[in-house]
A and B are shown apart, each in its own frame.
Chain A
Amino acid sequence: MKSVRLAFIISLGLSLACLAAAFFNQRGWIQTLVGLLIGAQWALLGWKGRRSYSLSFLGLLALLIYGAVLNLPVVWLLGSLVSLLAAWDLGEFSAHLVEFAHGQVSPLLVRNHLNRIFWVTGAGFVLGASALLIKIQLGFEVAVLLGLLVFVGIAGAVRFLRGNL
């Protein structure tokens, strides 16, 4: 359980560091400060094993999107997002473990969870970073078509999930 908390704090710290670095280039002191405050509050509650991750996660995500609108360096934003996802997951997992503090918890489960989050976030970062190297010129019509495809695809996925879950 301690390893999960430690991983949570490291992920959150990494995410905040990347976010601060991204805003630092644009001298966005206020955004940096807000991000650090949200992160500190989240870290404190997460360390105690309390569930407050969704609001903090959304707050930091909003800052990230704001950074994307300001055209901040994408690599920092990508690093921050990937670490943020890891922190979000680990925060919840930590709280879940606290609920079972008086029950049986398989140590293998904790190890597998940490492995999975490491590989998923790693793959996300690598895929995102690789995408930065690819440049495709899209016309407006193609973009709309792709948007429609995404819409139809996600709607289908949602239908599938609602039918199966």
Chain B
Amino acid sequence: MNRLVLLSTLTFGLILFGLGTMNRTFLVLALPLVIFVLTGIIFGAQTPQVKAERNLSAWRVPIDMPVTVKVTFTNQSEKLEQIWAADSLPADLEKISGETSFLASLDPGESATIEYTVRARRGTYNFAPLHASTSDYLGIVRRTIPLRLGGSIAVLPDIHRIPPVPIHPQQTRGYPGTIPARLGGPGITFFGVREYQVGDSMHQVNWRASARHPYSLYSNDFEQERAADIGLILDCRRESYLATSKQSMFEYSVTATASLAQSFLDDGNRVGLVQYGQYIAWTFPGYGKVQRERILAALAQAHPGVSLVDHLEYLPVRFFSPRSQIILVSPLQNKDLEVLFNFRSRGYALLVISPNPVSFEMAHLPDQAPVQVAGRIARLERVVLLRQLQQAGIRVLDWDLSLPFEQAVLTLTRGSARFAVRNL
């Protein structure tokens, strides 16, 4: 109950009753209340002006890196007899040390600071608007000051340094890069033999072929390596993923997507990202470090959601350049096959990085005979699913989550994707 209202009502009632009944006792009893109320009004009358500032030691951090938050309140008015404020932490932000609230008196120009350290899992955490409250010592006149103080912490996904992922899109861009362009020209990898052209270096001449044709010279041709357009699709449909209390398959997918984005951007490619879940969120294709930051920021906010459309057919195909490389990171569902076949038929080179839900679940189940049988059936179903993709010319990496992503990617580098599937 508001103290000022309560005490004023009591004072008013006692005085009126005392005057009405001509009983001095009531008037005498009203006097301490009058003193109480007047003291509050005198000492709490001035309008408080408080400036607040929130400083974060970092606003983009990797997972589990502590962030120190410092909030400073400065009194810009007369003396504030009591001021208190509590910084409410966003959910899932874990406080490690320090204090999130304070209660103090502030002289004019004096400051008070609260400092605490937090850490969090991947995500973007926005601080709620902060309010400070002031009053006189007796709490008679209370005021709440809204402090327009924002702030957010983005906890970026883990990124693993992975070996180069071999991809072969039909279409590449005009800039030099690391992706084989299916075109002869300057390069390292042997591409073919052609007739000698003026300007060819002597080192390029294929003497063995030229010796077979006495009146002609032949030169070795090498495959050009260029930058490519790469579209990453992260499946964010909740029904695609399994999760335990401690682990979620989705986090593995996010880590894989972030690692792939970093790897391709470092090689000079143009990379875009589509998150397909509750809604479709896209990061337009781009190059370099800025694009990497954009993608990581998008991945920091990624979370699995219940999709309004439960299969992939609403994926925006035009988002990707024609005949470019698409990499889908998804545990895959049976109903996704048709859409992936359509992508392939439109000329896109498709690579599916598929965290294996069967091995993930088996790792969390008891080692019993019925479980083993069920696991074997599920594994067979998955092999059939992945074989269908391979038969359509789609490369698949069946990622056993007990292996680090960089190790799983090695199977793509060493041999064919089919090899990878058969052995995992």
Which residues of A pack against B, CB within 8 Å? 54, 61, 64-65, 68, 71, 74, 77-78, 81-82, 85, 89, 92-93, 96-97, 99-100, 102-106, 108-109, 112-113, 116-117, 120-121, 123-125, 127-128, 131-132, 138, 143-144, 146-147, 150-151, 154, 157-158, 161, 164-165
Contact = CB atoms under 8 A, between A and B. Distances in A.
Given A104-B104, A128-B28, 9 more contacts: A65-B29, A85-B32, A100-B102, A112-B105, A127-B31, A147-B16, A151-B12, A164-B45, A164-B47
Contacts of A117: 137-138
B8 interface: yes
A126 to B, nearest CB: 10
Given A74-B25, A150-B19, A158-B8, A124 B32 contact: yes
Contacts of A154: 8, 11-12
Contacts of B137: 109, 112-113, 116-117
Q: Is the interface of A mostly helix, strand, loop or mixed?
A: helix
18 contacts: A61-B10, A68-B29, A74-B25, A78-B29, A85-B33, A102-B100, A102-B101, A103-B99, A103-B101, A104-B103, A105-B102, A120-B138, A131-B24, A143-B22, A151-B12, A157-B8, A161-B41, A165-B143
Contact of A116 (B22, B112, B138): B138
Nearest to B99: A103
B22 A103 contact: no
A123 B6 CA distance: 20
B141 interface: yes
A68 B39 CA distance: 25
B176 interface: no
Contacts, number: 137
B59 interface: no
Nearest to A97: B103
B308 interface: no
Interface in B23-81: 23-29, 31-33, 35-36, 39, 41, 45, 47, 81
A121 B32 contact: yes
Contacts of B82: 109, 113
A111 to B, nearest CB: 10
Which residue, B25, B32, B39, B41, has most C-beta atoms of chain A within 10 A? B32
B202 interface: no
B114 interface: yes
A96 B103 contact: yes
Nearest to A105: B103
A130 B19 CA distance: 18
A36 to B, nearest CB: 21
Contact of B20 (A96, A100, A120, A147): A147
B110 to A, nearest CB: 11
A143 B114 contact: no
Given A61-B10, A96-B103, A109-B105, A71 B25 contact: yes
A106 to B, nearest CB: 4
Contacts of B16: 147, 150-151
Contact of A127 (B32, B84, B100): B32
Nearest to A155: B12
B26 A138 contact: no
A117 B140 CA distance: 12
Contacts of A100: 84, 86, 101-103
Given A97-B103, A105-B102, A92 B139 contact: yes
A3 to B, nearest CB: 15
Contacts of B24: 74, 131-132
B4 interface: yes
A125 B36 CA distance: 11
B373 interface: no
Nearest to A73: B25
B139 A106 contact: no
A165 B46 CA distance: 9
B19 A120 contact: no
A105 B11 CA distance: 32
The 3 closest A-B pairs by CB, nearest first: A124-B32, A103-B101, A106-B104
B81 A112 contact: yes
Given A128-B31, A132-B28, A104 B36 contact: no
A163 to B, nearest CB: 11
B334 to A, nearest CB: 52
Nearest to A80: B29
B351 interface: no
A103 B86 contact: yes
A71 B24 CA distance: 10
Contact of A131 (B1, B28, B100, B105): B28
